[in-house]
Amino acid sequence: MATAGGRLCLVEDDPIMGESLSHRFALEGIDSDWFRDAGSALEALRDDGYAVVVSDIRLPDMSGEALFGQLLEGGRVPPPTLFITGYGSVEQAVRLLQRGARDYITKPFDLDELLHKLRAIAPGLFPGRSTDEQDTVLGVSPVMRRIQDTLRQVARHRVTVLITGESGVGKEYAASY
């Protein structure tokens, strides 16, 4: 499913993490390509326009940091890049951010947190909800109608709102109002 905002390049050698992220990106409507090594990703990044890169740091053929360095060669401006790692250090994070990386998060991380960061970095990746979709009734019970009414009321104001709840209860849907 191609989006107007481009595609996401995922560089992750761990099959479970890569599959999980790819699946979640697809559920969010994000068009992504998953590469299991830096060399394949580098080739694709040189030939194709990506809106954003999400890369692990430890990869089998070179580090994510070395990949980023190669993308910067010749004064080129790479796509916004977010790094994920299970073996991070403050020094490495600072170094990458100083070189132009957009963000750096450590594993394990909450997928909603990653998606929030991606929305901030590349909002065009996410297909927008249509007005018709937002007018859809969430449910017929009085509780669901009150929730929907509250969402509509809050959406009319420019305020920061913290939405909490267990995984799968619709926090992202509520935030889309």
Residue type, 135: D
Burial of 136 (0-12, 13-18, 19+ CB in 10 A): exposed
What pLDDT is stored for residue 9 in this prediction?
A: 97
Residues 135 and 149 in one domain: yes
* Omega before residue 127 within 30° of 0, cis: no
Can you give the CATH number for the domain in which 112 is found?
3.40.50.2300
Residue type, 75: G
Question: pLDDT per position in the chain (177 positions), as tens?
Answer: 333 468 999 999 999 999 999 999 998 889 999 999 999 999 999 876 899 999 999 999 999 999 999 999 877 888 999 999 988 789 999 999 999 999 999 999 999 899 989 988 888 888 764 444 444 556 667 787 788 878 877 877 777 888 898 888 888 888 877
Residues 146 and 72 in one domain: no
**Given strand 52-56, what is the order of strands in its sheet?**
32-35, 8-11, 52-56, 81-85, 103-106
Residues 73 and 135 in one domain: no
Residues 119 and 135 in one domain: no
